Structure 1
Amino acid sequence: MLAIGVGIFYWSFRSTSWHSFFLSLRQTNQWWLLVAVGAMLAYLGLEAMVVKLFVDHQGATISFKDALRVPMVEQLGNGITPFAAGGQPMQLIALIQSGIEAGKAGSILTMKFVIFQGMIVLNFIGALLIGHGYVDDKLHAWAIVIWLGFLMHMLVIIALLLLMFWPKFADKLVQWGLNGLAWFVPQRVKEWQPLIEEKIQNFHRESKQMLKNKGLVLKAVALTFVQLMVYYLIPYFILLALGSQHINLALVLALHILIFMVISLFPIPGGAGGAEVGFSVLFAQFLPTHAALLLAMMIWRLITYYMGMFLGIFAFNIKTNYQKEQAAKKV
């Protein structure tokens, strides 16, 4: 992904004046850049609070440090897999490494993901109300891509709700997967089946239990809303750092929400290529030169994508309190 990123940056800058680029870089307000980095860290911290909220409700214990490890590891999983498919499994591993039972961990992550996807859809509707004129007037074909992204997120929510509230659907889905694996490791599948069935039942039981607590769900919704708003503000801070003035904050928020939809459609990890093009198209009007626009795009990707991956690598190699306790028992 680093190699692909370098290639995309090189291609983007191929016809840009390096003098203009370095001039824009020298004029950058570093304090606003620090605010943008802080916004990304706050985004991860708020997600950690949601993780801790659900874990504590399940009667388990997790320190904030170990809870913070979960969204960081998620960033790594999202960043290196197509359609960000690796984020959920990596979070599951992180929770199990923190001593959370797999069934409970699965229900926690599914509930968190349903709320996260639901807030994305609601934010998209708000963004469309604010930015639909801009999209129709200036983006044309991109409007189709954005709507496809919205449809994809809606289908994900529907699939997750079916998984949570239709046990037979989940059982059939898992059974199809096990039948496929049985062709390669029949003995292992035979050993795994009763354990997996037990985890599925536990998953449904824990999911229903969490939904009964409306206060818990509302707290998670509020935290997730703030988390996403902080993330959506990052381009605004970058534009301020590059000297943009009289920026329409609501429009910038709306356009970043729309980019989020565009990224989800590209099968390359991190939406590489589509994310950079989408940012350049949507935010071109806010910056005076092409060099400044490309600098803004590069800073945005470094903060929202590459920084998260490196934090994930760092976090994945830190032992949790549970792992340290288990290691001490073996000594």
Structure 2
Amino acid sequence: MNKELTPKSFIKNSIFFIALIGVTFIILFKDNNLNDIILEVKNSDKVYVLIGIICTLVYVICETINFRTILKFFSYKKSFLSILKYPFIGFFFSSITPSASGGQPMQIYYMSKDNIEVSHGSLAIFMEFASFQFVTILLAIFSFILNFELVKTFNPVIITLIIVGIIFNILILLFILCVIFSKKFTEKIANFIFWIVKKIKFIKIDSLKEKFYEQVEEYQRGAIFIRQDKIIMIKVIFTTFIQVCALYSITFWVYRALGFSQASFIEVMSLQAILYVAVSGIPLPGAVGASESSFLRIFKTIYPSSVLSSAMLLSRGISFYLFVLISGVVVMCTQVILSKRKNALM
């Protein structure tokens, strides 16, 4: 997990990511007047748009607080600003790599450049990931129950995505809990899975097992820490709850920015919680394409068809595309600083 993403992989992932965005927008907007959509966005209430952008910053700040809380336990005296870059780095590389596979390794890589031990960086990320998983699945289940009658009216494909997404995230959460509370049980499950995978000839089982057990070892270290200091984990979960709610609430502020007020804060946010879990298991960079098309199908229940595309563009623009752009700038600045630091030592 501590390997740097190679320039070749970075370029390849970036090109694929940009191409995916291009194809997505061509498909989604081919039957819409782009000028009308842009006009709707321009006429939106800028105060609510600003609140949405602030919520994105709250999301970043909460993750920074979590990292600082955990790293402080290991006696790292890092300033808030020095840690602030890690959430941006994680978001950027998660967004441009399939299944968000690049985010965590790159966070660990940049942490190591700040003299944070790989084991401690991995632990900080494990705790953030575990709490994020717990909060998102909790909110998804609550939202699913709250909107059950409405969900039944959704397109069958969307219903399938929601159910698969919830099951997928529950399985990940159960795996984390198994790692925390039972190493032997985890190994038994792993051996069973590898026995099945071994039957698939084209998968390199040895390489897969090595990576898996490396990951489990890191999770085990995190598990020991969690069992020793439960208060810190409770603090992290509480902060993550605020973090996720801030992210989900962006959709509500967009709803208000476009002049609507019929649906409540809880109604809009719960639909966003359902959308998030529905696309979370799709192995596309940033869930691009899946998120946009699913938004149009889920949120047509609260938006008139005439402004639905504008709502999607504004919502994704604030919560994802703007965030990716800012994160990319942060990554570039961080890399420039590291290069200057390296040259100064030569």
TM-score by length of 1: 0.84
Q: Which residue pairs with 1:212 in the alignment?
A: 228
Partner of 1:317: helix, strand, or coil? Answer: helix
Q: Which residue pairs with 2:333 in the alignment?
A: 318
User: What is the deviation of 1:279?
Assistant: 0.6
Query: Which amino acid counterpart does residue 293 of structure 1 have in structure 2?
Result: L
Which of 261, 278, 283 lines up with 1:245 in the alignment? 261
TM-score by length of 2: 0.80
Q: 1:65-123, CA deviations, whole angstroms, 9 ceiling, x for partnerless residues?
A: 22211110111121111121222212211221221101111122112211110111111
User: What is the deviation of 1:27?
Assistant: 2.4
Q: Structure 1: which 5+ residue stretches go unaligned?
A: 182-188, 190-195
Q: Which residue pairs with 1:297 in the alignment?
A: 312
Which of 98, 110, 125 lines up with 1:82 in the alignment? 98
User: What is the deviation of 1:242?
Assistant: 1.0
Query: Which amino acid counterpart does residue 10 of structure 1 have in structure 2?
Result: I
Q: Which residue pairs with 1:116 in the alignment?
A: 132
Mapped pair 1:180 → 2:180: no
Residues 233 and 206 of structure 1: CA distance in aligned 2, closer, same or farther (over 3 Å): closer
Query: Which amino acid counterpart does residue 130 of structure 2 have in structure 1?
Result: V
Contact 1:211-1:217 within 8 A present in 2 as well? no
Q: Which residue pairs with 2:294 in the alignment?
A: 278
Mapped pair 1:97 → 2:113: yes
User: What is the deviation of 1:219?
Assistant: 0.9
Aligned residues: 315
Residues 280 and 111 of structure 1: CA distance in aligned 2, closer, same or farther (over 3 Å): same
User: What is the deviation of 1:300?
Assistant: 1.7
Residues 226 and 109 of structure 1: CA distance in aligned 2, closer, same or farther (over 3 Å): same
Residues 5 and 158 of structure 1: CA distance in aligned 2, closer, same or farther (over 3 Å): same
What pairs with 1:106-145 in structure 2 (closer than 5 Å)? Answer: 106-145=122-161
Q: Structure 2: which 5+ residue stretches go unaligned?
A: 1-16, 195-203
Which of 299, 318, 321 lines up with 1:306 in the alignment? 321
Residues 329 and 163 of structure 1: CA distance in aligned 2, closer, same or farther (over 3 Å): farther
Contact 2:137-2:170 within 8 A present in 1 as well? yes
Contact 2:254-2:315 within 8 A present in 1 as well? yes
Q: Which residue pairs with 1:259 in the alignment?
A: 275
Query: Which amino acid counterpart does residue 49 of structure 1 have in structure 2?
Result: I
Residues 206 and 153 of structure 1: CA distance in aligned 2, closer, same or farther (over 3 Å): closer
Query: Which amino acid counterpart does residue 308 of structure 1 have in structure 2?
Result: F
Query: Which amino acid counterpart does residue 32 of structure 2 have in structure 1?
Result: T
Which of 19, 25, 33 lines up with 1:9 in the alignment? 25
Contact 2:98-2:285 within 8 A present in 1 as well? yes
Q: Which residue pairs with 1:40 in the alignment?
A: 56
Q: Which residue pairs with 1:184 in the alignment?
A: none
What CA distance in whole angstroms lies between the structure 1 residues aligned with 2:89 and 2:109?
9
What CA distance in whole angstroms lies between the structure 2 residues aligned with 1:107 and 1:19?
48
Q: Which moved more, 1:79-88 or 1:156-165?
A: 156-165
Query: Which amino acid counterpart does residue 316 of structure 2 have in structure 1?
Result: R
What is the root-mean-square deviation of aligned Cα atoms in Å?
Answer: 3.2
Query: Which amino acid counterpart does residue 318 of structure 1 have in structure 2?
Result: C
User: What is the deviation of 1:211?
Assistant: 3.0
Residues 200 and 98 of structure 1: CA distance in aligned 2, closer, same or farther (over 3 Å): farther
Query: Which amino acid counterpart does residue 301 of structure 1 have in structure 2?
Result: R
What pairs with 1:163-242 in structure 2 (closer than 5 Å)? Answer: 163-165=179-181, 179-180=206-207, 204-205=220-221, 207-242=223-258
Contact 1:50-1:220 within 8 A present in 2 as well? yes
Q: 1:115-160, CA deviations, whole angstroms, 9 ceiling, x for partnerless residues?
A: 1101111111211121111101344442221011011111212333
Residues 237 and 217 of structure 1: CA distance in aligned 2, closer, same or farther (over 3 Å): same
What CA distance in whole angstroms lies between the structure 2 residues aligned with 1:151 and 1:314?
35
Query: Which amino acid counterpart does residue 27 of structure 1 have in structure 2?
Result: N
Mapped pair 1:58 → 2:89: no
What CA distance in whole angstroms lies between the structure 1 residues aligned with 2:102 and 2:44?
35
Q: Which residue pairs with 2:199 in the alignment?
A: none
Contact 2:67-2:83 within 8 A present in 1 as well? yes
Query: Which amino acid counterpart does residue 106 of structure 1 have in structure 2?
Result: S
What CA distance in whole angstroms lies between the structure 2 residues aligned with 1:286 and 1:201?
46
